[in-house]
Each structure stands twice: as structure tokens, then as C-alpha cells.
Amino acid sequence: MDHVRVGLVGLGTVGTGVYKMLQENKDIITKKVGKEIRVEKILVRNKDKERDPEIPSELITFDPGDILENDDIDIVIEVMGSVELAMDYIKRALSAKKQVITANKDLIALHEEELSELAHLNGRDLYFEASVAGGIPIIGTLKEDLAGNKIRKIMGIINGTTNYILTKMTKEGKSYEEVLKDAVALGYAESDPTADVEGLDAARKIAILGTIAFDTKITFNDVYVEGITKITKDDIKYADELGYIVKLLGIGMNVDDKAEARVHPVFISKDHPLAAVNDVFNAIFVEGNAVGETMFYGRGAGELPTASAVIGDLMKATRDFINDTMGSSYRKIVKRKEIKDISEVDTAFYTRMKVKDIPGVFAKIATVFGDHGVSIALVRQQYRDDSGVAEIVLVTHKVQEKNVRDSLAAIEKLDVVEKVTSVIRVEEGKR
């Protein structure tokens, strides 16, 4: 066969990008892999939808069997989305001995291990670079280029929508609700933004990254998740005054044979490289014991950036297909690490509370923190108003999360405290 035959499952944002990039960069792609890669069939669902005129209508099919069980297809690209159906389609494709590429983070964050094992059993590969951070080549980097490092930490801005919202709140002093409304109108947020703003999308991505970086299994369900919906204008303002920026981070840590996987808003020092990542851009900061600190920056979504990651995988899968070296990407998890509960995680905190504006209040609060082993790095009392209510803002040193939570529960019961209004974790120090 003088060309390699691809079946595309899905022709939405990513599928269209993949098709276009294959046409546009055909010369260099063919030269680099040694054969032309040709899309032979494209599976879609909606019979009435008008398709891009650049895409030949004879390629379109509505029957999954035309791709998944078709002997004239060598490689399947799943860019359809969903969990159950995509799982079924990928299993069918692997069982029919096709190389498979997917961009599906929802699926990979839950079932990567099972699907990779199935690929291995069939002597084939499953690639999923596009499932995390769109165009940023982070999965291949962790799997291959940094594979000899012990990775201690991964910390990333891995959701463009929330980074856009937090950037606008920071730069324009607007509330979360105002910015979200604009973001939906401009197409930067979905009309139902839950998966993004509640941190679920980022949680899927940190599960995938942590699994690879720490050589263990972390699924979406293992990740502690907090979104950005409770971040207020005041929090952003205090962050600024204290030398921080608020970002939604996915964080994975690999310490003493235990792993951490969490997504939550963070006060990050303004001089940390992640603090400069704005708007819809993504970035992933990785710390390895040999390489030290590295950071990867780029577009986390969109037609062509995501297609770029899919095509990179497609070229790897094609080379292995041509050279008959398929099945070489499999990596067995040898030892599973325990995943820490959030209460065991060590981190610093910013907290803000409304208190009675009378003498001795701070001493009472400090005593409760002290009794729980929490030391205070910084404190400010602000915005006294006529109602006799003052506001205390403080930042703790790094301590086990449980100690801070227990302290705050006790502090809320003090008769001098009206309400703890914000609790946000802080990345201590410059890095």
C-alpha cells in the first residue's frame, strides 16, 4: 500500500482541524513519515448538518462499522467525545488491530489503563497527547523526554476558560459573574460552564498527567477539586496587595512514595513563571530531579492547536505501523502510589474573616491557630466600617491542611468572629 489509511471518528472542532492540517501540511508530513496519510472515512452523527465544502462528501459515513471494523482502515482517530460510546468505539478499533489516537480527556482520565492494556494485548498503541493542554506537547515529553527523571511536582494552568476569567477579573477589577457573562458571549466559555469553572476539566487533565509523571494510576475520581466560582473581587484585590495572583491550578506532587492530585484556586507569587500566563493560554510547570524546573506554554484548545497534537500522535502511530513496530508505547504501572487525602496535604493558606471591631480579637484568633500548630506569616486588619465590623486578612505558613480546617472551624465559633469569608491555598515562596 502506498499510503496509510485513516478513519476519523468525529468532524467537529478538532476533527475538522485534523483534516485541514493533514491537507495543508501534507508535504512535510509525508516526507517525515515516509508515506502519505490519507483520511478514507469520517464518522459523524447529524445527517442534516452542513459540512465544510473542503471535506469531500463521499468520505462521510454514519455507520461506525465503516471505520471500526473496516479492513481498509489502519489507524482510527477518535475526536467525537463522550465516555461510554467512545470507550466502545476505541475498544472495537483496538480489537480490530488498529492504531488509535484520541483527544478525549473525559475518557482517558477514567479508563486509560484499561484501554492501554487492550492496545498492548492487540500489539497496538493508544495515543492521547491532545487530551491535555491542546497544542502543548506535555504527554510525550513526560513519557519520553523526561522519563529518566523522578518528577516531584507538576503544576499547571490547564483550563483556558478559567484562566481567561481570572485574568479579566484581575486586570479589569470585574466580578466573577460579570466576566463569566462576557466570556459566554465571546465564546470563551460554554453556555453551561460547569466543567470548566468547577475545576472538573482541569481535574481530568491533572489525573492524566499525574498518572504518567508519577508512574502510578490516578483517575479523575482521585482528584480533589475546587473551582473558581467563590473567588471574589476582594480576594483578587488582596492577592494583588500581598504580592500574589489568583490562578486555578492543577497540582500533582510525588513525595515519599505518596502522590497528591488536586485542582483549586491558588494565590501564586507574582514572580512565579505561571503568574505571567494570561487569558486562554495554558502552561505546565514540571520539576524533575535531574532537569530541575521546566515550563511548557501554549494554547490549550482550539481547532489547529489541538489538531497539532493529534497529528503528532498520528505520525508516531504511522511510523510504527509502517515499520511494524506497533505496541511499543505500552508502559506497565509497576507500583501504585497511595493518593493523599486533601486533609493530609501541606500547604499555606490565605484567609479572610469578618470580626467584631473590638480590642483583643486578633489575640483570640491567633490563640486558636497556635493551639492547632498553625503559625501566621502575615496579618492585616482592614476596612473598618460604621457597623462595628472589621476584616482580618491573614496568610499562614505551610502546614497540614487539616490543622487549618480545624482552626477555622473553631475560629468561626468564637463570639468575636462573624464569618470566615474566604479560604484559598497559597504557593509559598518564589517557586
Ligand X SMILES: NC(=O)c1ccc[n+]([C@@H]2O[C@H](COP(=O)([O-])OP(=O)(O)OC[C@H]3O[C@@H](n4cnc5c(N)ncnc54)[C@H](OP(=O)(O)O)[C@@H]3O)[C@@H](O)[C@H]2O)c1
Closest to ligand X by CB, 201 or 222: 201
Residue 299 binds ligand X (CB under 6 A): no
Decide: 180 and 193 in contact? Cβ < 8 Å. yes
How many beta carbons lie within 10 A of that of residue 293, not counting itself? 11
Stretch that binds ligand X, among 74-82, 119-127, 332-340, 423-431 (CB under 6 A): 74-82
| Minimum CB–partner distance for residue 38 and ligand X (Å) | 19
The total number of residues written for the chain in this structure: 431
Residue 105 binds ligand X (CB under 6 A): yes
Helix (H, G, I), strand (E, B) or coil at 122: coil
Stretch that binds ligand X, among 40-48, 239-247, 258-266, 407-415 (CB under 6 A): 40-48
Q: Is 205 labeled as catalytic in the residue annotation?
A: yes
Helix (H, G, I), strand (E, B) or coil at 333: coil
| Minimum CB–partner distance for residue 217 and ligand X (Å) | 21
Applying the rule CB under 6 A, the residues between 347 and 406 that interact with ligand X are none
User: Is 200 annotated for ligand binding?
Assistant: no
The dihedral region occupied by 287, where left means phi > 0, alpha psi between -120 and 50, and beta the remainder, is beta
Q: What angle do CA 200, 201, 206 make, to 5 degrees?
A: 95
| Minimum CB–partner distance for residue 328 and ligand X (Å) | 25
User: Is 123 annotated for ligand binding?
Assistant: no
Decide: 401 and 347 in contact? Cβ < 8 Å. yes
Q: What's the CA gap between 348 and 73, in Å, rounded?
A: 53
Closest to ligand X by CB, 179 or 307: 307
91, 98, 205, 340: which one is catalytic?
205
Residue nearest to ligand X (CB): 12
Q: What's the CA gap between 210 and 207, in Å, rounded?
A: 5
Beta pairing class for 376-382 and 389-396: antiparallel
Which of 3, 26, 32, 49 binds ligand X (CB under 6 A)? It is 49
Using CB under 6 A, list all residues that contact ligand X: 10-15, 43-46, 49, 79-81, 85, 103-105, 130, 134, 301-302, 306
| Residues acting as catalytic residues | 205
Residue numbering of the annotated binding site for L-homoserine: 190
